[in-house]
Amino acid sequence: MSMNNSPNIFSTPNLNRFQVNVINENHENTAPSQRDSESQCYEETSFADETSNRLRISYRPGHREVYDNLFQNGDPAKTDGSFHPYNTHSNTYYLKTFGHNTIDVVPRIDYYRNTGSISGVKMNRPSLMDIHEQLAKNIAVSSGSADKVTKTDGNAGNGECNTEEETKGGFVKFGWMKGVLVRCMLNIWGVMLFIRLSWIVGQAGIGLGVVVICLSVVVTTVTGISMSAICTNGVVRGGGAYYLISRSLGPEFGGSIGLIFAFANAVAVAMYVVGFAETVVELLKSSNAIMVDATNDIRIIGAITVVLLLGISVAGMEWESKAQVVLLVILLVAIVNFFIGTVIPSTNEKKARGFFNYQASIFAENFGPEFRGDEGFFSVFAIFFPAATGILAGANISGDLEDPQGAIPKGTMLAILLTTIAYLGVAICAAACVVRDATGNVNDTVVSGMNCNGSSACTLGYDFSSCKTQTCDYGLMNNFQVMSMVSGFGPLITAGIFSATLSSALASLVSAPKVFQALCKDNIYKALHFFAKGYGKNNEPIRGYILTFFIAMAFILIAELNTIAPIISNFFLASYALINFSCFHASYAKSPGWRPAFQYYNMWVSLFGAVLCCAVMFVINWWAAVITYAIELFLYIYVTYKKPEVNWGSSSQALYYVSAVDTALELTTVDDHVKNFRPQCIVLTGGPMTRPALLDITHSFAKNNGLCICCEVYTGPRKLCVTEMNTGMATKQAWLTKNKRKAFYAAVAADSFRDGVKSLLQASGLGRMKPNTLVLGFKKDWRCASAAQVENYMGVLHDAFDFEFGVIIVRISQGFDISQVLQVQEELKKLEEERQALEATIKDNEFEERHAGIRGFFRKATKLNFTRTMPKKESSINTISSMHVGEYNQRLLEASTQFKKKQGNGTIDVWWLFDDGGLILLIPYLLTLRKKWKDCKLRIFAGGKVTRLEEEKLKMASLLSKFRIKFADVNIIGDINMKPNKER
């Protein structure tokens, strides 16, 4: 948008409500004070003449030259030191923007926050009406008032204040390395790296082993890319995967995956701790130091370990982060130790166990696959894939990151790259140094003249041919401790195993409560809101830690994790699948709000990632995948049924809108047909709660059959009408939703009731979904109403016919309007709240009297005076209540709910005197389709000649039969043209 600043626009100064005045910043100059005394005129406008003086801008005498100096050919010019047009945040200004006395505001993040944002309270921009009113007041500015407005206007910003508070309060926030990279690397590098990777490359060979690793990395990389796109599309709060999925796909998907993801992390703690305990027990076995037995020792060591990890977690994120760094250093040293060991010349003992340093013959021999037993490519892949997971470790503590939008993508993607290189390096190096089978006997050397048959071990001087007939204990296929054997210092590999298990357990112990706390804060599962409370400077979920501790302890004591492990892996995969689907869904919905800063993503790649995750779930374990989907479906249905009151602007909402627009456009290409006619109603209810009976009767034949729009016309001064209309729009639509009325609410402001209805008749609807029927109540007070009111009412009927609308006029004896009853109810509600507050105050004071001791004795007189007045107040309340009981129109209330009740075995009389197109028959028929009206019978009354009553009756019955309208009776009125007889 641009503004033409040529001089001819401002050639005629004119004082009106759009006047904008340039004000000098120098308050010591007294010259402007005289000019400030000139008044600005703000007129109350009607709806007919408001555009005549629109968009006129004038300047007071003496300031035109300043403005011309500011803008030369449309560009800002330099000014002297006393005037700064762009100093929009200076305390020397009061209600001024760019040097003009207007309360219009410059762009700021505080005006774009969500209503419930925890970063600060959303600030409201001044409306055009506010600006008009402020200009009309023509406030004289002083520097003192400027400070007040600066504070109230919030130039410091609530979000900034929160940041300062966090800094002062000692909040611990992590960067991308310590918060994301370290955690993800530790979680991805697990026990699999040290114990199972050599076996995997032995089974699959170097070629397929690399494919297994790369395929796993493809899943995690695509998920990481999708997660990066979602993270950079707005502010990321605490909750990790749950937050990303729920804010993208809505509470139904987020609530279902959030609960199982938190549970999976809690059980994962037990899995990693048991892995650690098993390694310790193996060491105890080798030293003959078993305490009870192997199983119970695992439980004892596991329980002690979980208690220690819980202590580190509860101590705070800072201590936990330091522990993670120490564990990473140990892990890196262990990995480097392995690579160093591959180049250290092998001893005879190690050669007997299959380690010969780097040999081309071993590399060639181990390049191809050699699956044994029941193993195959997919079974090997299923064993390795859990080792590649853990990419959500950083995202799970998103609430504790300084910049989640930048930290999560950078740290996660770099962690995937580094861990992939490590996995590939260890797998290839191990397969290039160690043969598949070895006896471990140093005497199994090659005898002279022996035929090696291409065996690399044989060419290197060792005969391991006995391994073909019996199972050997060493080699890639048989020894899980290959890395310890190859490494330069074996105990460092054991330390690496400890580091990998403990770091993963610690990450899961932190992740589960954080995700669970975010889920509970959103109150999707109301019974779990107890766990939403945080403690300490970092809002630590202590209750969540304790719950996670008990879950982990329970599964450690069970000690049967082989069955539960596939389900946990599938829980994580389900999270990955939904993250990928979230990115695809948001891109497919094409919402203008989908603008991720991370550009290296593709919606179809994300969809491929989602499908791939689902496929991997079945590859790993089909029954675990079925259980995962069943649990997720159950939780999804539960959350959908409960309908949590949240609005996160999810992509599902965007897709609903796109689908609705597409469907509406497709509907416009379909020609109308009489068989598809349905009543699309404009109902003149005013506020829907003020005439519920009129809405109920319309709803009875329009629900699930056609469109229903509750309409209200505001008449009177523009300012009051527009304000009331805008403030009540959302409330009245919410009332319809709450009361399960499938209807829309629309309102217009006009000079008269008839003009407003005329606007509604012409402009309501969209495409084919356009109203064709006007429903309004009978004007009960037509006898005492003014001629203009009756003329307006009748004019509405004529306008409806002119615009080819059907008209339904509904009449009940008591009338429809219950606004007076609602007003009385509101007053009684307020009085009841006052009475309850008063009783609470009295009880508090009595409690203080009983427990205040000596101080209460000295204050006794004042409290007695206070309590003595209470009976008067209560008696006045009772008097008011009794007064209102007489005004309470019980009959009117009963009449307002009469169409909600079952109508019983009544009759619906249809007076079809003239052919109106069949609407008068269709409406009663639609009524009888409802449960409340199904027992009612139709009686048809029609006009006819006295001499042909039977013929007319048969003719009408035949016509109704062709229309397939069920009726109980047909009555032909022969004396329809005769005046009523009083005696009859």
Question: CB under 8 Å to 558, separation ≥6 — which residues?
Answer: none
Q: How many CA atoms lie within 13 A of 280 on its CB side?
A: 22
d(C-alpha 903, C-alpha 212), whole Å:
70
Contact (Cβ atoms closer than 8 angstroms) between residue 596 and residue 230 = yes
**Which pLDDT score, from 0 to 100, does residue 869 have?**
40
Q: How many CA atoms lie within 13 A of 672 on its CB side?
A: 8
d(C-alpha 567, C-alpha 30), whole Å:
80
**Mean pLDDT (whole number) for 678-703:** 87
Q: Give the pLDDT band of residue 30 (cuts 50, 70, 90).
A: very low
Select from 880, 897, 746 the least CA-distant residue to 812: 897
Q: What is the pLDDT of residues 630-670, one digit of tens each?
A: 998 998 888 888 888 777 877 888 888 888 888 888 888 88
Select from 226, 220, 159, 232 the least CA-distant residue to 407: 232
**Which pLDDT score, from 0 to 100, does residue 218 have?**
93
Question: CB under 8 Å to 605, separation ≥6 — which residues?
Answer: 222, 225
Contact (Cβ atoms closer than 8 angstroms) between residue 518 and residue 247 = no
Select from 916, 633, 662 the least CA-distant residue to 801: 916
Q: What is the pLDDT of residues 174-188, one digit of tens each?
A: 888 888 888 888 888
Contact (Cβ atoms closer than 8 angstroms) between residue 236 and residue 408 = yes
The better pLDDT of the pair 320, 377 is held by: 377
Distance of CA 748 to the CA centre of its chain: 32
Distance of CA 358 to the CA centre of its chain: 55
Q: What is the pLDDT of residues 87-106, one digit of tens each?
A: 444 443 344 555 555 667 77
**pTM for this prediction:** 0.70
**Which pLDDT score, from 0 to 100, does residue 52 have?**
43
* Least confident among 461-475, 795-809, 865-879: 865-879
**Which pLDDT score, from 0 to 100, does residue 101 have?**
58
Token pair recorded at residue 132: 């008009």
Task: Decide: helix, strand or coil at residue 617.
Answer: helix
Residue 390 to residues 217, 383, 617, 663: CA-CA distances in angstroms? 12, 15, 16, 42
Burial (Cβ within 10 Å: 0-12, 13-18, ≥19) of residue 152: exposed
Task: Decide: helix, strand or coil at residue 469.
Answer: coil
Q: Give the pLDDT band of residue 929 (cuts 50, 70, 90).
A: confident
**Which pLDDT score, from 0 to 100, does residue 967 have?**
84
* Least confident among 62-66, 373-377, 919-923: 62-66
Q: What is the pLDDT of residues 226-259, one digit of tens each?
A: 988 888 887 777 777 888 888 888 888 888 888 8
Pair type for strands 907-911 and 937-943:
parallel
Question: CB under 8 Å to 282, separation ≥6 — which residues?
Answer: none
Return the CA Rg of the chain: 40
Q: What is the pLDDT of residues 823-881, one digit of tens each?
A: 777 888 888 888 888 888 887 777 666 655 544 444 443 343 333 344 444 444 444 44
d(C-alpha 459, C-alpha 451), whole Å:
10
**Which pLDDT score, from 0 to 100, does residue 620 have?**
84
Question: CB under 8 Å to 265, separation ≥6 — which residues?
Answer: 396, 508, 511, 512, 515, 548
* Least confident among 477-481, 545-549, 619-623, 864-868: 864-868
Q: Per 3-state DSSP, what percentage of the chain is helix, strand, and coil (rounded to 5)? A: 60, 5, 35
Torsion angles phi and psi, residue 28, rounded to 5: -80, -15
d(C-alpha 555, C-alpha 277), whole Å:
13
Measured between its terminal Cα atoms, the distance across the chain in Å is 75
**pLDDT higher than threshold 60 for residue 65:** no
Residue 96 to residues 77, 86, 736: CA-CA distances in angstroms? 19, 10, 42
**Which pLDDT score, from 0 to 100, does residue 293 have?**
81
Question: CB under 8 Å to 483, separation ≥6 — which residues?
Answer: 194, 195, 197, 198, 338, 426, 430, 493
Q: Which residues are bridge partners to 909 per DSSP? A: 939
* Least confident among 19-23, 606-610, 684-688, 862-866: 862-866
Burial (Cβ within 10 Å: 0-12, 13-18, ≥19) of residue 45: middle
**Average pLDDT, rounded, for the chain:** 77
Q: Is the dihedral of CA 501, 507, 513, 515 positive or negative?
A: negative
Token pair recorded at residue 364: 């060639």
**Which pLDDT score, from 0 to 100, does residue 541 have?**
86
